Amino acid sequence: MREPPSAYERLRLKVHALLDPDARATTAERAANAFLTMLIAVNVAAVVLETMPRLRGALAVEFERLELVSVALFALEYLARIWTAPVDPRFAGRGGRLRYAVTPLALVDLVAILPFFLARSGIVDLRYVRAVRLIRMLRVFKIARYSDALVTFARVFRKRRPELALISLFLGLLLVVASAAMYQAENEAQPELFSSVPATMWWTITTLTTVGYGDMYPITPWGRALGGAISLLGIGFFALPAGILAAAFAEELASKRRAHGVCPECGQAMPPTD
pLDDT in tens, 112-130: 888 777 777 666 554 454 5
Query: Does residue 260 contact residue 23 with C-beta atoms inside 8 Å?
Result: yes
Q: For 273, which DSSP code?
A: P
**Dihedral sign computed on CA atoms, order 188, 192, 193, 197:** positive
Which of 160, 112, 157 lies closest to 138 in space, CA to CA? 112
What number is the average pLDDT over the span 247-261? 72
Mean per-residue pLDDT of the chain:
79
pLDDT in tens, 218-249: 999 999 999 888 888 887 777 777 778 788 87
pLDDT in tens, 157-210: 788 888 888 888 888 888 899 999 999 999 989 989 898 999 899 988 888 877
CATH 3.40.50.720 fits 147-274, yes or no: no
| Residue 167 exposure: Cα atoms within 13 Å on the Cβ side | 16
CATH of domain 7-146: 1.20.120
Q: 3-class secondary structure for 49-81?
A: HHCCHHHHHHCHHHHHHHHHHHHHHHHHHHHHH
Q: Is the pLDDT of residue 261 over 80?
A: no
Read off the pLDDT band of 267 (50, 70, 90).
low
What number is the average pLDDT over the span 265-269? 55
Domain definitions of the chain by residue range: 7-146, 147-274
